[in-house]
Amino acid sequence: MKKHKFPLHGWIGLTLIAIFWPVNWLLDGLRTHWAFFPLWLGYALTVDGLVYTRKGTSLSARNWKKFAGLFLLSAPVWWLFELFNLRLQNWAYMGRESFTNLEYALLASLSFSTVIPAVFGTAELMGTFDFIRTRKRGIKLGIPPWGVWVFFLMGWVMLGLMLIWPRYFFPFVWLSVYFIIDAVNVWLGNPNLKTELERGDWRVVWALWSGVLVTAFFWEMWNYYSYPKWVYHVPFVDFAHIFEMPLLGYGGYLPFAMELFAVYNLVMGARNQGLGIRD
């Protein structure tokens, strides 16, 4: 794979990380509410720059408007999970009491806007490595048309169980949305993981999974000494923490990445060409 010069926006990203990582960890008092966004903007730009260096193209290079659109899509998508968490109470924000509802909504939305760009950019970066890029086709998962209906209904059942008995069925928050939306994408003819897996092409899945785990490491690490910060209250698995997150909790990131991919395809439909996760 031909290497290309590290682009200017990548250097801007590294500069933002170099400034706002120490800010988030070393300043006293409230600081992360305004320093989180530039830190993660720096991450997104750095990762995008690394992708460009490795393959000569990237999310921003192909279509900067769509790259910026990921930030706009990201905030409402994560607010959906915040809505679910009102019932689950699996995570909470230390320092939330320092802000009015309006301040919190605006600052949180700005921070939430970095979720999808970070995950998709890292997924594309991981997809440039040979262990994914040159991976041979794997098991073909043939799912008949009625199976899509089963998945769709299972998604709603999981969502209902999660809302009725959150203590026992909280993991379904990271599965139900994917089952529902990916089925809709199949029916609408949008890109979807079902089609990829029927061909035995697991590269998108592997790129999403590895990308989200790398992103999760930085999320949890940078959060650890930040303030405000999030903490977890997860039933049954609240042990063996890596930073604030219980070890088993990292498993939830895998279907979460698939949910983000499904939501993006639903919103963009056939217009989503250029995401580039497996190319």
What tokens appear for 121 in the block?
């950019």
User: DSSP state, 5?
Assistant: P
pLDDT single digits (tens) 196-216: 888 888 999 999 999 999 999
pLDDT-derived band of residue 277, with 50, 70 and 90 as boundaries? confident
Cα→Cα distances 225→28, 89, 104, 133, 253, Å: 11, 22, 20, 35, 21
pLDDT of residue 137: 75
pLDDT digits (tens, 9 = 90+) for 31-72: 999 999 999 999 999 999 999 999 999 999 999 999 999 999
CA 144 to CA 148: how far, in whole Å? 7
Q: Which residues pair with 246 in a beta bridge?
A: 241
| 136 pLDDT above the threshold of 80 | no
Instruction: Show me where the domains of the chain are located.
Output: 8-137+203-250
pLDDT at 273: 55
How far is residue 123's CA from residue 232's CA, in Å, rounded to a whole number?
Answer: 25
**pTM, rounded to two decimals:** 0.94
Residue 74 has pLDDT above 80, yes or no: yes
pLDDT given at position 272: 62
- How large is the greatest C-alpha to C-alpha distance in the chain, in angstroms? 57
pLDDT at site 271: 64
Residue whose entry in the numeric block shows the structure tokens 């509802």: 101
What pLDDT score does 157 carry? 98
**Dihedral angle computed from the Cα positions of residues 237, 225, 20 and 40, in that order, rounded to the nearest 10 degrees:** 10
